[in-house]
Amino acid sequence: MRIAFLTAPEGVEQVELTEPWQAVVQAGHEPVLVSTESGEVQAFNHLDKADTFPVDEVVDEASTVSFGGLVLPGGVANPDFLRMDDKAVAFVKDFFEQGLPVAAICHAPWTLVEANVVRGRELTSWPSLQTDIRNAGGTWVDEQVKICEHGPNKLITSRKPDDLKAFCEAFLDVFAQEARR
């Protein structure tokens, strides 16, 4: 199964990209780095520049139907940039419209808020996003991992890098279940 990882050209939290990416590879799936620009994305360790990663597909040329799921890594700047890019927001929204599973960690739900897909859903995130999620019609919970089955697709969310092990296990399990449907 191909799994999209959507990031901005700069600002993704490296560990929130690399640990889920490695989990996808170890599970025998194909991770695909999708970004708003070709070339490389610049990851960060909090506020410090970290490694760069090559972009596999540009969001305006990527098709959601070629993927079995979407992973949205966090970092403060990453989802803030993505939510200001109409094509990135449309890409995320299309996963929901297609009934495909989506996983988001830390600050990544900001992009979900912008895509107008949190209404009626329970999700978690970095605590500072609580008000944004509530204002968008979602219910924020303080849990390590939250799997929401509202609507035709499943949404898997986690709060922070400390939750990565549980996050990866949860989204891989859900993605595998959905692929068997």
Q: Which residues are catalytic?
A: 106
β-strand partners of 31: 3
Q: Give the containing element (helix H, strand E) for 31.
A: strand 30-35
Rounded (10°) angle between helices 14-26 and 164-179 = 40
Distance CA 106, CA 85 (A): 19
Q: Work out the burial of residue 169: count CB atoms within 10 Å of its CB; fewer than 13 is exposed, 13-18 middle, 19 or more buried.
A: middle
Give the CA-trace dihedral at 177, 96, 3, 22, to 10 degrees.
Answer: -80
Residue 36 φ/ψ, nearest 5 degrees: -80, -15
State CA 54 to chain mean position distance: 18
Which tokens belong to 163?
Answer: 């939750």
